[in-house]
């Protein structure tokens, strides 16, 4: 197995980012325009024009902030999984020509999604500051939460990527699962409206723990559920371990198959 190469990862991340906006007049500015437009929709359209209110809070923009706090991390999480799932097939031309370590493709996707996430969060913070939102100490936990969420996304993505080489349906199945997962996680609706049975099931939904942590930090100025986060950390690492063991076991076959 070839070792991870930092300069290679940075190079393909740069190229990935440049390719996304290649040929457009505004170029990389689109990376800022998109989050601004999305946040405008969440906060102004949903919060102010449609008048959606968050139960238990008096703030007018609370629902918009609640939406943004859930959708920004979810977008990074789901994009990482779906892009990782097809990484080996999509980067076939690189894998077959350059002797590169396959996990570096996962890391470059993570890095690329992290840039988008960072820009979105930056725009979100600027909007919150303009609205006079108070920033609390709990925000210090955001990098750790993000790190955990991306590790989980990478472990699931690696597992799907290995399977996708042999069974091409995995890419489509991943898309379907992510769509169902989105609606099974309280991102656009509030956790409290769920019936009791579903609420109990939510304890087994890792995305719910992550998204709720963000919502607690941004909207309710509260601490994330630490106990659940510790459990999720252990589960994530076990998943990452098994995904990697499976990948190592099949690496030669993956290269032959491609």
Partner 1 sequence: MMEPLFLLCWTGLFFAGLFLIRRKIASGVRLYLLLMLNLIFLAGVFYFYPAIKRDASIKRGSLPSARETISICCFPAVGD
Judged by the rule CB under 8 A, the positions of this chain that interact with partner 1 are 3, 137, 140-141, 144, 147-148, 151, 223-230, 233-234, 237, 240-241, 244
In the complex, the smallest distance separating the C-beta of residue 201 from partner 1, rounded to whole angstroms, is 19
By beta-carbon proximity to partner 1, the closer residue of 47 and 224 is 224
Provide the minimum distance between the beta carbon of 186 and partner 1 in the complex, in angstroms, as a whole number.
Answer: 16
Please name which of 235, 186, 178 lies closest in space to residue 215, comparing C-alpha atoms: 186
82 versus 212: smaller Cβ distance to partner 1: 212
- Do you know the residue count of the chain? 258
- Rounded CA separation 57/242 (Å): 43
**14 vs 237 by CB, closer to partner 1:** 237
Return the number of the residue (186 or 224) whose C-beta is nearest partner 1. Answer: 224
Distances (CA, A) of 55 to 70, 210, 213: 16, 21, 18
- CA-nearest of 112, 116, 120 to 35 is 120
In this structure, what token pair is assigned to residue 62? 């609370």
CA 254 vs. chain centroid, Å, equals 26
Q: Which is nearer to partner 1, 57 or 101 (CB)?
A: 101
Residue closer to partner 1 by CB (options 240, 246) is 240
Nearest to 165 by CA among 80, 240, 92: 92
Q: How far apart are CA 194 and CA 200, in angstroms?
A: 10
Which value, in Å, is the radius of gyration of the alpha carbons in the chain? 19
Q: How far is the CB of 202 from partner 1 (least distance, A)?
A: 14
Taking the C-alpha atoms of residue 64 and residue 82, their distance in angstroms, rounded to an integer, is: 26
3-state DSSP of 118-134? HHHHHHHHHHHHHCCCC
Q: How far apart are alpha carbons 40 and 54 in whole angstroms? A: 18
| Cβ at position 218, least distance to partner 1 in Å | 16
Q: How far is the CB of 159 from partner 1 (least distance, A)?
A: 15
Shortest Å, Cβ 142 to partner 1:
11
Cβ 100 to partner 1 shortest distance, Å: 16
Nearer Cβ to partner 1 (226/257) = 226
């Amino acid at each position: 197995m070839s070792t991870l190469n930092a300069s290679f990862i940075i190079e393909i991340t740069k190229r990935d980012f440049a390719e996304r906006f290649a040929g457009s007049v505004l170029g990389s500015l689109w990376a800022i325009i998109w989050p601004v437009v999305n946040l405008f929709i969440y906060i102004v359209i949903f919060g102010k024009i449609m008048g959606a209110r968050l139960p238990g809070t008096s703030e007018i923009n609370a629902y918009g902030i609640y939406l943004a706090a859930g959708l920004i991390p979810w977008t990074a999480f789901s994009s990482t999984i779906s892009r990782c799932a097809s990484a080996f097939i999509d980067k076939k031309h690189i894998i077959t020509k350059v002797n590169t370590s396959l996990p570096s493709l996962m890391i470059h996707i993570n890095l690329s999604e992290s840039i988008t996430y960072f820009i979105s969060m930056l725009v979100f913070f600027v909007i919150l500051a303009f609205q006079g939102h108070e920033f609390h100490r709990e925000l210090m936990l955001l990098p750790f939460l993000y790190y955990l969420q991306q590790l989980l996304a990478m472990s699931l993505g690696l597992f799907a990527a290995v399977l996708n080489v042999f069974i091409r349906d995995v890419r489509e199945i991943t898309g379907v699962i992510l769509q169902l997962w989105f609606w099974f996680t309280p991102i656009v609706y509030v956790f409290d409206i769920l019936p009791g049975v579903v609420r109990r099931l939510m304890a087994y939904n890792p995305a719910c723990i992550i998204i709720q942590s963000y919502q607690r930090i941004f909207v309710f100025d509260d601490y994330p559920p630490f106990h659940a986060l510790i459990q999720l950390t252990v589960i994530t690492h076990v998943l990452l371990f098994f995904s990697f063991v499976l990948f190592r076991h099949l690496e030669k076959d993956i290269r032959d198959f491609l």
